[in-house]
């Protein structure tokens, strides 16, 4: 058999980037101090406070996503606090009216056994699961349409992350796709190559 003729049936990407220069201890204190300001989504999601460290983090994440395609636009972000015994249910970050985007998670704290992130893809009558072991300072990027969950926190400590989404700027879609077709964007590495 000629292995040069083998090609993938399914192609979706994720990336893990170690970010430097964030004071995670200060960021976790800022988040815990504001944990009473919850969002409407889920019990474990709270507002990301507007602090020096959170601004620095958002800017660094935005810079990384601009490397994929400079016509991405931040959509939302929040803090995710997982207390002992809690988990996060199966969900995706798709948004009506937006093309496939990039979801992201930044790990502020990760006590051992406090909940791995699991990316899940239904394909070929199988549910393919990719567990991601968090590491403090890591930024996980993946397609917004990929379902995922967070396993139960079986530690005795709190796990803190920051999550969000970037989507193609709807007002600059021509420029967005020009970046791809002229070879300056690796967008399809993340979202997969298919016709929509």
Q: What CATH number has the domain bearing residue 63?
A: 2.60.120.620
Report the predicted TM-score, pTM, of the whole model to 2 decimal places. Answer: 0.89
4 part of a folded domain: no
**Domains held by the chain: number:** 1
* Backbone φ and ψ of 108, nearest 5°: -80, -45
Q: What residues make up the domain containing 184? A: 11-191
Whether residue 2 is contained in a domain is answered as no
Which tens digits make up the pLDDT trace of 58-94?
999 999 999 999 999 999 999 999 999 999 999 999 8
pLDDT beyond 80 at 119: yes
Answer whether residue 35 shows pLDDT above 50.
yes
Q: Work out the percent of the chain whose per-residue pLDDT is above 90.
A: 63
In a domain, 109, yes or no: yes
Residue 191 is predicted with a pLDDT of 73
DSSP state of 189: H
Let me know if residue 46 belongs to a domain. Answer: yes
The string of DSSP codes covering 118-186 is EEEEEETTEEEEEEE---TTEEEEEETTS-EEE----SSS-EEEEEEEEEE-GGGHHHHHHHHHTT---
Would you tell me how many other CB atoms lie within 10 Å of the CB of residue 105?
A: 21
Residue found under tokens 């002992």: 84
pLDDT of 69 reads: 92
């Amino acid at each position: 058999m000629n292995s040069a003729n083998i090609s993938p049936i399914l192609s979706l990407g994720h990336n893990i980037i170690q970010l430097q220069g964030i004071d995670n201890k200060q960021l976790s204190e800022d988040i815990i101090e504001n944990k009473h300001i919850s969002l409407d989504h889920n019990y474990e999601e709270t507002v990301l406070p507007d602090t020096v460290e959170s601004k620095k983090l958002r800017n660094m994440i935005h810079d990384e996503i601009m490397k994929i395609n400079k016509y991405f636009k931040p959509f939302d972000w929040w803090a995710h606090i997982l207390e002992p015994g809690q988990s996060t249910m199966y969900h995706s970050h798709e948004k009506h009216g937006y093309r496939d985007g990039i979801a992201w998670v930044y790990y502020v704290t990760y006590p051992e056994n406090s909940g791995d992130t699991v990316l899940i893809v239904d394909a070929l009558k199988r549910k393919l699961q990719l567990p991601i072991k968090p590491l403090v300072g890591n930024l996980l990027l993946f397609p917004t349409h990929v379902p995922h969950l967070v396993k139960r926190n079986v530690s005795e400590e709190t796990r803190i992350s920051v999550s969000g989404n970037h989507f193609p700027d709807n007002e600059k879609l021509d420029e967005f796709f020009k970046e791809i077709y002229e070879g300056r964007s690796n967008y399809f590495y993340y979202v997969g190559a298919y016709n929509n």
